[in-house]
Structure 1
Amino acid sequence: MSTNSPRVLVIVPTYNERENIEPIIERLHSSVPDAHVLVVDDGSPDGTGAIADKLAEADERIHVLHRTAKAGLGAAYIAGFDWGLQAGYEVLVEMDADGSHAPEQLPRLLGATAHAGLVIGSRWVPGGSVVNWPRRRELLSRGANLYTRMALGVPVRDATGGYRAYRREVLEAIGYATVASEGYCFQIDLAWRALRAGFDVVEVPITFADRERGESKMSGSIVREAFWRVTEWGAVHRGRQARGLGGSIRKRRSRG
Structure 2
Amino acid sequence: MIDTLVILPTYNEAENIDKLIPKLLEQNIDMLFIDDASEDGTANLIKKWMNKSTRINLIERPAKLGLGTAYVTGFKWALKKDYQYIFEMDADLSHDPADIPKFIEKCKEDYALVIGSRYTHGTISVVGWDFRRLLLSKFANKYATTILGLSFLTDVTSGYRCYSRKVIEALNLDNIKSNGYAFQIEMVYRVYKMDFKITEIPIIFYERNSGSSKMNKRIVREAALMVWKLKFGK
TM-score band (shorter)? Answer: over 0.9
How far, CA to CA, are the matches of 1:109 and 1:128 in structure 2? 19
Matched, 1:231 2:228: yes
User: Which of 33, 43, 49 is residue 37 of structure 2 equivalent to?
Assistant: 43
Percent identity between the two aligned chains: 43
Moved over 3 A (4+): none
SS of aligned partner of 2:141: helix
Contact 1:117 1:200 in 2 (8 A): yes
In structure 2, the residue matched to 1:192 is 189
Contact 1:13 1:97 in 2 (8 A): yes
How far, CA to CA, are the matches of 1:104 and 1:133 in structure 2? 22
CA deviation after TM superposition for structure 1 residue 57, in Å? 1.6
Contact 1:95 1:101 in 2 (8 A): yes
Matched, 1:158 2:155: yes
TM, length-normalised to structure 1:
0.87
Matched, 1:182 2:179: yes
How far, CA to CA, are the matches of 1:62 and 1:232 in structure 2? 37
User: Which of 137, 146, 151 is residue 141 of structure 1 equivalent to?
Assistant: 137
Contact 2:68 2:178 in 1 (8 A): yes
User: Which of 115, 119, 127 is residue 120 of structure 1 equivalent to?
Assistant: 115
TM, length-normalised to structure 2:
0.95
User: Which of 101, 105, 109 is residue 107 of structure 1 equivalent to?
Assistant: 101
In structure 1, the residue matched to 2:13 is 17
SS of aligned partner of 2:200: strand
How far, CA to CA, are the matches of 2:74 and 2:98 in structure 1? 22
Matched, 1:213 2:206: no
SS of aligned partner of 2:134: helix
SS of aligned partner of 1:58: coil
Contact 1:128 1:205 in 2 (8 A): no
Contact 2:186 2:230 in 1 (8 A): no
Q: Which has the larger radius of gyration?
A: 1
Would you say how many aligned residue pairs link Structure 1 and Structure 2? 231
For structure 2, the 5+ residue unaligned runs are none
CA deviation after TM superposition for structure 1 residue 22, in Å? 2.2
Give the letter aligned to residue 19 of structure 1: E
Matched, 1:69 2:66: no
Contact 1:113 1:167 in 2 (8 A): yes
How far, CA to CA, are the matches of 2:124 and 2:52 in structure 1? 36
RMSD: 1.4
CA deviation after TM superposition for structure 1 residue 177, in Å? 2.7
In structure 2, the residue matched to 1:171 is 168
CA deviation after TM superposition for structure 1 residue 109, in Å? 1.2
Give the letter aligned to residue 168 of structure 1: R
In terms of mean alpha carbon deviation, does 220-229 or 107-116 score higher?
A: 107-116
In terms of mean alpha carbon deviation, does 211-220 or 99-108 score higher?
A: 99-108
